[in-house]
Chain A
Amino acid sequence: MTPLMDLKNLRVRFHTDEGMVKAVNGVSYAMEPGEILGVVGESGCGKSVHALSIMRLIQTPPGKIESGQVIFNDRDLLKLSESEMRHVRGREIAMIFQDPMTSLNPVYTVGFQIVEALKLHKGLDEKAARERAAELLTLVGIPGARQRLDDYPHQFSGGMRQRAMIAMALSCEPQLLIADEPTTALDVTIQAQIVDLVIRLQQELGMAVMWITHDLGVVAEMAYKINVMYAGYIIERGQVRDIYKKTRHPYTIGLLGSLPRIDEPPGTKLVSIPGLPPDLLALPTGCPFYARCTYRVERCLEENPSLEEADGVEHTVACWRWEHIAGRVSS
């Protein structure tokens, strides 16, 4: 099967007054149609930036996509003109954002904003677009959708706004939905509802979903594959089962260790990864995780490991010592 999206060696830089921030450093992976991909990593690891680069929504200047290809439906998005790209946004790739409080325009009604998107891409007339917008709001679980079309965003709760955002993103039936930490700003029960909603919509509409988060617990439930990112690199990638059961990168081990577990005795301290991620202005020549790694050896300081096949299905890891770690973890 040809992949829906094939990312090849994507590099993104920000030229700031302090120097060049290397935000994304050669990210390559493919997504199948209808796949749910989880992208995890801590703040500033390049997960949002790489997603925005796919949509070509990086603020330029200071940001710049230095090199790479984003093959989507057999064409390179990075080579399209701005007006061609506009047809891709919303119609083929849609995006929802972290903060539902600010992601709807406060001066327009929710209905107006969905209707706008429908008119833009589907060429529907006002009446049909309104009808469809009401259907979409119902689909994402907003009761009394027809009346609520005329509500302003401030009359919606946070969860409802995120639902409305999802309705807007789905309005043109995209093939890929990029969800950039869509549940981070919501409380836990609403989070679960939104996750369920996206899974249900994904199954019904057959679209692919990229779910960006720093919460490994959320993606474990829904994703098929996971990319773990660190300092602008993918450092481990594989199916959910392998990432959790056959964890091979020290950073992923640290991330999983810092999750609270329900089967632990009370009072057990959470493990935190010591230190801070490296300064993206001055990345080390060796492995970016070297300074915080407990498995480090001389080689890690000199050479940066690239992704290589590890045990498991389609499981790749960027660590010189994954075999050693495999031995340690399973023993």
Chain B
Amino acid sequence: MAEITPQDLFVTDFAVREHRSLWVDAWRRLISSNTARLGLFIVTVFVASATLAHFFWTYDAKTDLDYALKLKPPNLRPTEEISTIHPFGTDKLGRDIFRRTVHGGWNSLRVGLVAVTISLVIGVLLGLLAGFYESMEITQGERVLLQGLVGLSLGGIIAWIGAQWVIALLFGLLGVLSIVFGKFLAGKPVRIALFALGGLLIGGGIGLLGAPMVGLVCGLLGAVLGAILASPLTGTFFSNVVMRAMDIILAFPSYLLAIAIVAFLGPGLEKGMIAIGVVGIPIYARLARSAVLSVAQKEYILAAYSVGEGHDRIIFRHIFPNILSPIIIQATMGLAGAILSAAALGFLGLGAIPPTPEWGAMLGDSYKYLSSGAWWAVLFPGLAIMFSVLGFNLLGDGLRDALDPKLRV
């Protein structure tokens, strides 16, 4: 191309400013707000104390037991009776509540992070795909991939009931087959009948390995799934299947569903994480989908198509970064929710298994002693829950103000 110097042109815009990314701007707005700073402070204290305690202040919950120190009130100075310091007092087994509260923070943090990660990754992925394909033609390759995914995930439910994970794989295969062979099977009723039969055999046959009743339930569900998989996948259909599945999860009261999942999986901190994570999936899926629907209409997405970018790059490089703000905000708020849910499960004895230090379980252990005057045994774990939830909520609020696209120039 020929050399053209700027002097040849009528250019009036010479303003050169420092390079600042949107995230730097958002960070500045965040720390300029008092409530957000408070939230950030609480969260930092919480995360730092929990992490430091976990790595540098060893605590063996299994051997921590001293009946002599049972339910002693807080003391900040060694006395004749108690030679050790217990700033938060001791519980019914004579354990130091301060120590357990700080270590409980690590468990709460873990639950929060893992649960939010589970719901975030699965939910956002589903929401992205559902939103994107809602008004988009699907290419053959994507069709095979997505239908396999639908089959795999729907089959997962039956696999779970039948306790045979191979069922999920077979349903995934059935989904792929429906696209590959969909064209050759003449007539819709024939196709639906064939795939329903396939689903019945896969679900029922393998389910029978467990018990006759399991085989029956799996077979029936499999037939329905087979019929669903028989229809050739269009974007709208995929989007509908995903979002209706989300609606079904949302239809259950969230605590009840979490309790049901834990009851099924058995108690334990890790099971609790999975339960809370699964319950949170639809929130992220819906959020991501609605954000995708608005971003996908933007001209820069059209511009990205017009320079020849493919669907995968459009979804993950162009749409995804633009829907991050609401997701970050929701994830921060979600951490607070997950910590609260974990505490609720712990309180009911469905979360952490004793003697693991966990705030909800500590409350559940100690509330019986409240009437005998042991206020410290419930106050401090309760405060810990309150402050950590408050911290994440304030931070989330601050992030919302900082990342709100409406404030952007």
Contact = CB atoms under 8 A, between A and B. Distances in A.
B305 interface: yes
Given A94-B307, A105-B304, A157 B299 contact: no
A28 B310 CA distance: 29
A266 interface: no
A144 B16 CA distance: 9
B251 interface: no
Contacts of B298: 102
Nearest to A60: B137
A57 B11 contact: no
Nearest to A55: B306
Contact of A95 (B135, B306, B408): B306
Given A141-B6, A159-B13, A103 B308 contact: no
A138 B4 contact: yes
A246 interface: no
A87 B4 contact: no
Interface string B279-308: 000000000000000000011101111111
A84 to B, nearest CB: 11
A90 B19 contact: no
A312 interface: no
A107 B4 contact: no
B247 interface: no
A104 B308 contact: no
B78 interface: no
Interface in A99-144: 99, 102-109, 116-117, 120-121, 135, 138-139, 141-144
A90 B306 contact: yes
With most chain A CB atoms within 10 A of its CB, the pick from B16, B20, B304, B307 is: B307
B1 A139 contact: yes
B305 A57 contact: yes
A104 B302 contact: no
Given A106-B22, A106-B322, A148-B16, A59 B9 contact: no
B309 A120 contact: yes
A88 B308 CA distance: 7
Contacts of A229: none
Interface residues of B, number: 40
Nearest to A148: B16
Given A82-B139, A97-B299, A91 B308 contact: yes
A195 B51 CA distance: 61
B17 A86 contact: no
Nearest to B306: A95
B321 interface: yes
A90 B14 contact: no
Contact of B409 (A143, A144, A154): A154
B236 interface: yes
A204 interface: yes
Interface residues of A, number: 58
Contacts of B4: 138-139, 141
Contacts of B20: 152
B10 interface: yes
A2 interface: no
B256 interface: no
A169 B14 contact: no
B79 interface: no
Nearest to A178: B306
Nearest to B18: A155
Interface in A54-91: 55, 57, 59-62, 81-83, 86-91
B11 A141 contact: yes
A56 to B, nearest CB: 9
Nearest to A61: B135
Contacts of A151: 17, 19
Given A86-B309, A90-B308, A205-B1, A59 B135 contact: yes
A98 interface: yes
Interface string A160-172: 1000010011011
A268 interface: no
B308 A87 contact: yes
Contacts of B16: 144, 147-148
A186 B11 CA distance: 15
Nearest to A121: B308
Contact of B299 (A87, A99, A138, A152): A99
B318 interface: yes
A143 B14 contact: yes
Nearest to A159: B13
Interface in A149-199: 150-152, 154-155, 157, 159-160, 165, 168-169, 171-172, 193, 197
A95 B324 CA distance: 28
Contacts of A103: 299-300, 302-303
B299 A204 contact: no
B2 to A, nearest CB: 6
B294 to A, nearest CB: 12
A89 B307 contact: yes
B21 interface: yes
Contacts of A148: 16
Contact of A102 (B137, B139, B300, B305): B300
Contacts of B19: 109, 150-152, 155
Contacts of B309: 86, 116, 120
Interface in B256-293: none
A210 to B, nearest CB: 13
Given A81-B139, A204-B2, 7 more contacts: A57-B305, A60-B135, A103-B300, A105-B300, A106-B300, A160-B13, A204-B1
16 contacts: A55-B305, A60-B137, A86-B309, A90-B307, A90-B308, A103-B299, A117-B308, A120-B308, A121-B308, A139-B4, A148-B16, A151-B17, A152-B19, A171-B307, A172-B307, A193-B9
Interface of A: 55, 57, 59-62, 81-83, 86-91, 94-95, 97-99, 102-109, 116-117, 120-121, 135, 138-139, 141-144, 147-148, 150-152, 154-155, 157, 159-160, 165, 168-169, 171-172, 193, 197, 204-205
